[in-house]
Amino acid sequence: MKKQSFLLLLLVAATIFGFVRCNKDDNNKQKARVELRLTDGPADYDAVLIDVQQVEINTEAGWQTFPVLHPGVYDLLQLNNGLDTLLCNSELPVGNISQIRLVLGSNNSIVVNGVSHPLQTPSAQQSGLKINIHQTLEAGMVYKIWLDFDAGKSIVEQGNGGYLLKPVIRGYTELTNGIISGTIQPVVALPVVYALQNSDTLATAIPNASGYFKFCGLPAGSYTIAIVPSVPNFSPLIIPNVTVTFGVANDLGILTILP
């Protein structure tokens, strides 16, 4: 009798353990990992310093807090031409996500000609900046989402000499990441690169010290790339019919500006 009771106890324990393990495995299968990265378009300042404190993502279950790995100040101008930094890396429930909310702190500033100025950001501090992003998360998958913070369009110089931050941010994923890159020579021409579509400027790039530039997150389609030197002795270079296809990086190679 004691032996039968002991065997019955083992059977019950094994059943409970299996049930708990099954539930744990099922819960793990209902999660997807999301990497949220911050990147930027160029701007003609020494630094644009943004105080990122919190990220929230709108899922089918409502708004979920997405922990920032290193809350604090990020220099946006260090994050252009394809460079980015990891803001968040965590699991979310499977299903559709529709919006991301970026909440900034009060320690935002801009450096112009070596002088630091505070950036006023009232709306960002109160309710957060909402960015539309549409992605279906599937169990066990890893997703990368970029927040492209356009520093050049986000800074408004006020009449009193102050600066206002009115953030212009777009989100894109690996499925909507159109890429155009190239290297411009000579770099002494100080070129600015524009990605144009139907006469509209969709993106701007300032090449790095070696002349390299990279556009990310472009919608699929045909573009005109305009390279405009800042030095008057050089002529602009216009490249029409540059195709962007998702999943394919279009490298234009070395582009030479002539005097």
Number of neighbouring beta carbons within 10 Å of residue 61: 9
- Do 78 and 39 lie in one domain? The reply is yes
In the chain, % of residues over pLDDT 70: 86
pLDDT of residue 123: 63
- Do 34 and 104 lie in one domain? The reply is yes
In the chain, the number of structural domains is: 2
Using the 3D structure, point to which of 175, 195, 226 is the last residue of a domain. 175
- Do 107 and 5 lie in one domain? The reply is yes
- Do 222 and 256 lie in one domain? The reply is yes
- Do 219 and 98 lie in one domain? The reply is no
DSSP 245: B
- CA 52 centroid distance within chain: 13
Residue type, 122: P
**Residue 96, domain CATH:** 2.60.40.1120
pLDDT averaged over every residue in the chain: 86
pTM of this prediction?
Answer: 0.79
Number of neighbouring beta carbons within 10 Å of residue 57: 23
Using the 3D structure, point to which of 135, 151, 175 is the last residue of a domain. 175
- Do 168 and 240 lie in one domain? The reply is no
Using the 3D structure, point to which of 119, 148, 175 is the last residue of a domain. 175
pLDDT of residue 126: 60
- Do 47 and 111 lie in one domain? The reply is yes
Rounded Cα distance between 135 and 252, Å, is 30
Asked if residues 73 and 118 have their Cβ atoms less than 8 Å apart, the reply is: no
> What would the pLDDT profile of 196-227 be if each residue is shown by its tens digit?
998 888 889 999 999 999 999 999 999 999 99
- Do 98 and 217 lie in one domain? The reply is no
pLDDT of residue 247: 81
- Do 96 and 151 lie in one domain? The reply is yes
Most distant CA pair in the chain, distance: 101
- Do 33 and 125 lie in one domain? The reply is yes
Alpha-carbon dihedral 173, 92, 125, 78, rounded to 10 degrees: -40
Residues with pLDDT less than 50, the chain: 2-3, 6-28
Range of the domain at 121: 1-175
**Residue 228, domain CATH:** 2.60.40.10
Number of H helices, E strands in the chain: 3, 20
- Do 34 and 87 lie in one domain? The reply is yes
- Do 118 and 189 lie in one domain? The reply is no
pLDDT of residue 61: 86
